[in-house]
């Protein structure tokens, strides 16, 4: 970045840092100030539980990262990893001894970053919106150039520092399992070797290993955490979800900015004229979103795939928006593919729901084309039966479909 340069999302019409957010954390802060949510001083662990309950984020979604790749590196090491929890629209991170970090989806701004300190004696919890430190890492090419989220795999040394000379891997659906989870704890079983649960003792690269780790009792003091697991399936779903979130934010910002410019540069064209900047932006964004929603670049899992714990699986499936005919888009497969039906449950998310109307309409039009019996060549990997099942689910559960 050029010194003194201003990120495009800090300029009109976005004005990210100057615009007030109306997200779940903002509402939680208002409840604190109004006395509608009273939290008494307690342990960091129990305060975390209270925050998760308030924000409706499942404790079972816990994953643990021990590499020093966070705002709170001084607290993080292989014996004291950072815990991350997530729902469709909210992400919560906490490391014992440190603050709680929050990311909440706002209808206009997309992800908004906060830190939260626990109550101390007569002092109430303190919520602070972060518009500087977090964005130094969470608003660059790794997040599509907008405020967003990403999962990295690194090679951690014995002190949990990332050995950057070995590079890092930005993890998406397309990332081979062999390159994933360096610096992370991983519980569950994988038919493919991976980099989780390992440290580089002599500064050497890590060798991916097949693993079957039911819990982390032999690695850390699990009583410090809300769960004794860092579920392999939760990790894979989090990786998928972060990618979708970034593309939705990119589309939201891109359309607003294109419309703003078009009003100045192409004043003779209606906003949604096919020759206008805004329409072209919406169409391009719809293509990117659709490819991610339909898992176009997803790797194929080995024959026995992956197997996580029942606690996360049950919690994840309990949030399914299921049609009357049975299971919905959260149905897990876990061999060959992560999901049984390859259309992302993130189509129900707040981030998707609040896409600009022209962008969302283009996504739905293209989605219907892709899922038709004739289909489109790009998505020929979807069988006729799978497309029919996805159509049936969406017809029953998505009003805009």
Q: Quick: pLDDT tens for 328-346.
A: 999 999 999 999 999 999 9
Q: For residue range 287-314, list pLDDT tens digits in order.
A: 999 999 999 999 999 889 999 999 999 9
Q: What's residue 3's pLDDT?
A: 46
| Mean residue pLDDT across the chain | 93
Q: How confident is the model at residue 363 (pLDDT cuts 50, 70, 90)?
A: very high
Q: Which two tokens stand for residue 172?
A: 């998406």
Rg of the chain taking only CA atoms, in angstroms:
21
Closest-CA residue to 343 (of 395, 267, 291, 278): 291
Asked whether 336 and 300 are in contact (CB, 8 A), the reply is yes
Confidence of residue 265 (pLDDT cuts 50, 70, 90): confident
Comparing 170 with 123, the larger pLDDT belongs to 170
What b/e string do you get for 238-255 counting C-beta neighbours within 10 Å, with b at 16 or more?
bbbbbbbbbbbbbbbbbb
Q: At a CB cut-off of 8 Å and minimum separation 6, what does 385 contact?
A: none
Question: Band of the pLDDT at 322, cuts 50, 70, 90?
Answer: confident
Torsion of CA 189, 194, 200, 204, to 10 degrees: 150
Span 189-224, pLDDT tens digits = 999 999 999 999 888 899 999 999 999 999 999 999
Which among 24, 84, 89, 94 has a CA at the least distance from the CA of 60? 84
| Count of C-beta atoms within a 10 Å radius of residue 54 | 16
- Determine how many CB atoms are found less than 10 A away from the CB of residue 401: 15
Strand 110-117 relative to strand 100-106, pairing:
antiparallel
pLDDT in the model for residue 264: 84
**What confidence category does residue 102 fall into, taking pLDDT thresholds of 50, 70 and 90?**
very high
Q: Is the dihedral of CA 225, 226, 232, 235 positive or negative?
A: negative
Query: Over 60: is that where the pLDDT of 14 sits?
Result: yes
pLDDT at 4 > cutoff 60: no
What was the pLDDT predicted at 323? 83
pLDDT over 90 for what percent of the chain? 82
Q: What is the dihedral of CA 93, 96, 99, 101, to 10 degrees?
A: 0
Beta bridge partners of 282: none
Share of the chain above pLDDT 70, in %: 99
Q: Which pLDDT belongs to residue 128?
A: 94
Rounded distance between C-alpha atoms, residue 384 and residue 373, angstroms: 6
| 2: confidence class by pLDDT, cuts 50, 70, 90 | very low
Residue 336 falls in which region: left (phi positive, over 0), alpha (psi -120 to 50) or beta? left
**Residue 1, pLDDT score:** 42
């Amino acid at each position: 970045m050029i010194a003194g340069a201003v990120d495009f999302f800090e300029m009109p019409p976005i004005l990210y840092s100057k615009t007030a957010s109306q997200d779940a954390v903002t509402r939680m802060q208002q409840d604190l100030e109004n006395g509608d949510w009273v939290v008494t001083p307690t342990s960091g662990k129990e305060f975390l539980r209270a925050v998760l309950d308030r924000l409706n984020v499942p404790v079972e979604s816990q994953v643990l990262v021990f590499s020093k790749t966070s705002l709170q590196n001084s607290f993080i090491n292989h014996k004291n990893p950072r815990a991350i929890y997530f729902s469709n629209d909210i992400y919560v991170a906490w490391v014992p001894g440190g603050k709680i970090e929050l990311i909440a989806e706002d209808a206009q701004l997309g992800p908004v970053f906060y830190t939260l300190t626990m109550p101390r004696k007569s002092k109430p919890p303190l919520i602070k919106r972060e518009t500087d430190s977090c964005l130094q890492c969470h608003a660059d090419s790794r997040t599509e150039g907008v405020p967003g989220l990403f999962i990295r795999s690194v090679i951690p040394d014995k002190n949990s520092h990332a050995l950057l000379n070995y590079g890092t891997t930005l993890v998406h659906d397309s990332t081979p399992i062999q390159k994933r989870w360096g610096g992370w704890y991983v519980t569950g079983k994988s038919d493919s070797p991976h980099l989780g649960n390992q440290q580089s003792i002599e500064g050497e690269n890590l060798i991916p290993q097949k693993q079957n780790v039911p819990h982390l009792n032999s690695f850390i003091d699990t009583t410090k955490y809300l769960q004794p697991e860092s579920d392999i399936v939760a990790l894979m779903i989090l990786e998928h979800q972060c990618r979708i979130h970034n593309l939705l934010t990119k589309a939201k910002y891109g359309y607003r900015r294109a419309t703003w410019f078009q009003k100045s540069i192409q004043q003779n064209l209606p906003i949604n004229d096919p020759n206008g900047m805004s329409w072209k932006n919406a169409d391009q964004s719809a293509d990117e979103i659709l490819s991610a929603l339909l898992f176009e670049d997803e790797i194929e899992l080995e024959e026995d795939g992956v197997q996580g714990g029942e606690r996360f699986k049950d919690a994840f499936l309990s949030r399914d928006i299921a049609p009357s005919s049975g299971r919905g888009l959260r149905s897990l497969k876990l061999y060959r593919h992560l999901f049984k039906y390859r259309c992302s449950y993130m189509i129900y998310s707040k981030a998707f729901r609040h896409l600009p109307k022209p962008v969302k309409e283009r996504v739905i039009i293209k989605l219907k084309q892709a899922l038709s019996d004739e289909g489109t060549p790009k998505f020929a990997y979807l069988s006729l039966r799978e497309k029919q099942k996805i159509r049936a689910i969406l017809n029953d559960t998505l009003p805009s479909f």
